[in-house]
Structure 1
């Protein structure tokens, strides 16, 4: 987010797998024929949202490497079957159907899959991934550096890996195509002329706030939010919606603190809806994560 963010910047490493799980909540929205913007992130969100039938979708991320990964995910979902997709990204890592691809299949199996999708990538994305897949030693997944240790729990939670039918829906989203832009959300929206119907911000504001707090600039964060929400409001259609993912249960004190920190623009007449998200990570007995998708609806006029 602008030059202020030190957590995310053009050279930030991408996330191999999403740690948020808004899939059911987003699928319930009517995005058919709508203009949609989403944070690119790991590349899975844009593919998923494209499958919901928007007329236009833009995947935006300040990290150029995240944009490259989004290109790779889009190409892989469109070109590979579910097992090949798992082999390309997650060899030796348990997926929704268990460990489908033993580590000894990498790197050669990965290289075969990568060569298939490579023609669909841009020149800069090829320049980024060619050395990654071309020099991996035997038995090593070269994408593991993009997978944080706790993220392994999230791999089997990715809905597209649950079965061929689910994977087919994501493949259909990849086939629809979408634009990928390396920029901060507000920088991108400031240059857009046509308004959007849905803006999905993921949890980027939490990271921006953390940067300001580490610099002990809470007042600066408030000024940033004032400008940020103004830009979003101008770029959003009347009756449009902003989606914000919050890693807290909606009825907790921590969630209320998050809402206050986000400074939702109630003064602009926005109404908030909260969709609970319950996640039960496999392998962690009796563990339940409670998250919330906050949907902020702009007034009709």
Structure 2
């Protein structure tokens, strides 16, 4: 069972808003080119980030950094209900990615209230300025948390090679490239590339590229591009190729995803305004 709403608001720095209720969908390992700001309203999400298990209960804010593989599943048969804001990669200091990997869960009641308020504003057409204002305060608090715990990230074997391959894949998301070509460009043996990338990111290069293409397709669909055109523009062979991977990663097919816009505010806009008390802001 899946219930979703996905849309792209006219708010600088926000790539996508995604509200979802899942009972039996398990996200495979995947990546985003964005920061994933997540709150859970019901249930608990279990996920692996950098090969370490984490949990996202309802009283914390989860921040997953860009380009780092993660998965996700419900901790119980009850499933979970979540709200996500995907922030552009440059919305937070990229030097804090390592700290976010080490500490993705933030137990901060004020921050959670602010994220809830942001989602409320994002569901109300015409309230883009309020959403932008709320986002500024949220990002300021997020960076404050991360900077307080920032430390040196230990070097890993072949990490530099894996990072260069990731940069190459990011530059060729739609065009793609063969492993032989990557090996020639990076002056490394193909098997060495695959092993180094897997050690650093917890997934093989081809899966990383596929999930980046799914990420790109999400944006194209929310921009109004028809599914067949979005499939080709994102680097997939055709619509069926996109659909197979999209459903595996997102939990629903691209057609259904594209049709589900922002949800109606609970109780209508007036009720939402009453819920947004100054203290929660």
Q: TM above 0.5, one fold? A: no
Name the TM-score, length of structure 1 as normaliser: 0.33
Name the TM-score, length of structure 2 as normaliser: 0.35
